[in-house]
């Protein structure tokens, strides 16, 4: 059975607020997600291992220093203002690409938080660091010869940009893993994102690079988060032109449509010929997920795992989305079973 990496520090991030269509709702990215996945993995016989600690260097290879400083210390500054909410929630966002950088923590919150789905509380930084260490540990193990390793990362990462949090995400685990592999000598890395939401942060980080190929199969962003990224005509820029491939699917698509797009994406990845595959695994494509945007069944998850495993790449599997539902954990297991 493939190794499973998890850090209990991930439980420290307990977000409360989430604004949808102007209405405050309970946040869906809760510790119960990992509890359900861990329970299913343990019942299936997987051994859970703690990650190594890698420090800040691999994070700085992807994220800006000012952003990392904000994640680490911003909540303390926010609380010191007095008369604040328990979580950092921005109320002003820069729309000018040449916007200045404020000294006020209120201004920096808007600068470094792309939407209202990523509230920061006292435990967010510790949890995000734990998730990133899981991703890095899994990557190190695969680079050292493991066929595949699964990192149960929480919070997820694929909406995080180099300088900005968004969509429940703070540190971009897939980008951190891919860059770590590049720095360790892997010439070409492919990232395959199968979350119901497009991995806009990951795409942006590598959009002008030709050494990392990014492919995403997800619900059509024309009517679904993240709205502005994930279109088929977004294919990269500059040196990276042609090294991004998006496959937006109609809302309500099941595994037949999903697998067709997945096979097309894998064919593009085969042409790229990577030395490592980073899989951003989203279980929110499930027919039973609260988002209900796509309708992949239990059999579909098993087929997805089989198709990706059969491509034959050394594979780092990173947990992205997938929210509280009765089959959340078992669907993770169905994917992993294809890898042994």
**Residues 20-59: tens digit of each pLDDT:** 888 888 999 999 999 999 999 999 999 999 999 999 999 9
| 112 annotated active-site | no
Task: Round to whole Å and give the CA distance between 184 and 143.
Answer: 8
pLDDT bracket for residue 274 (50, 70, 90): very high
Supply the pLDDT for residue 98: 86
pLDDT bracket for residue 97 (50, 70, 90): confident
* Closest C-alpha to 170, from 184, 183, 158: 158
pLDDT over 80 at 286, yes or no: yes
Distances (CA, A) of 118 to 90, 94, 96, 201, 331: 10, 17, 21, 13, 25
Catalytic annotation, pick one of 158, 159, 197, 198: 159
pLDDT over 90 at 138, yes or no: yes
How does pLDDT run across 198-250, given as a tens digit for each residue? Answer: 999 999 999 999 999 999 999 999 999 999 999 999 999 999 999 999 999 99
What integer best gives the mean pLDDT of the chain? 97
Q: Is the dihedral of CA 63, 66, 69, 75 positive or negative?
A: negative
- What is the average per-residue pLDDT within 139-144? 98
* Helix (H) / strand (E) containing 135: helix 124-143
CATH level 2 (architecture), domain 4-51+123-339: 3-Layer(aba) Sandwich (3.40)
Torsion of Cα atoms, 24 then 25 then 31 then 35, to 10°: 180
Supply the pLDDT for residue 64: 98
């Amino acid at each position: 059975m493939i190794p499973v990496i998890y850090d209990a520090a991930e439980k420290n991030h307990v977000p409360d607020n989430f604004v949808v269509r102007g209405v405050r709702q309970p946040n869906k990215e809760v510790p119960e997600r990992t509890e359900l996945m861990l329970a299913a993995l343990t019942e299936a016989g997987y051994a859970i291992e703690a990650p190594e600690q890698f420090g800040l260097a691999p994070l700085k290879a992807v994220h800006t220093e000012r952003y990392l400083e904000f994640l680490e210390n911003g909540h303390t500054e926010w609380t010191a203002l007095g008369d604040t909410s328990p979580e950092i929630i921005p109320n002003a966002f820069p729309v000018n690409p040449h916007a200045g950088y404020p000294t006020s923590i209120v201004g920096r919150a808007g600068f470094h938080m792309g939407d209202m789905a990523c509230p920061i509380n006292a435990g967010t930084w510790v949890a995000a660091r734990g998730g990133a260490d899981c991703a890095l540990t899994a990557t190190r193990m695969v680079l050292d010869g493991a066929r595949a390793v699964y990192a149960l990362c929480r919070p997820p990462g694929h909406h995080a940009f180099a300088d900005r949090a968004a969509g429940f995400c703070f540190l971009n685990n897939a980008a951190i893993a891919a860059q770590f592999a590049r720095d360790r000598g892997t010439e070409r890395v492919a990232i395959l994102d199968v979350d119901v939401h497009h991995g806009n942060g990951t795409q942006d980080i590598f959009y002008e690079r030709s050494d990392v190929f990014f492919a995403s199969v997800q619900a059509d962003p024309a009517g679904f988060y993240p709205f502005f990224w994930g279109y088929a005509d977004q294919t990269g820029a500059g040196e990276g032109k042609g090294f991004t491939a998006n496959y937006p699917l109609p809302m309500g698509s099941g595994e037949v449509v999903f697998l067709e797009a997945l096979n097309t994406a894998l064919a593009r990845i085969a042409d790229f010929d990577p030395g490592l595959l980073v899989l951003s695994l989203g279980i929110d494509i499930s027919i039973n997920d609260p988002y209900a945007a796509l309708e992949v069944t239990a059999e579909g998850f098993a087929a997805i795992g089989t198709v990706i495993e059969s491509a034959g790449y050394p594979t780092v599997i990173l947990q992205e989305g997938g929210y509280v539902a009765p089959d959340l954990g078992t669907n993770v297991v169905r994917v992993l079973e294809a890898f042994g």
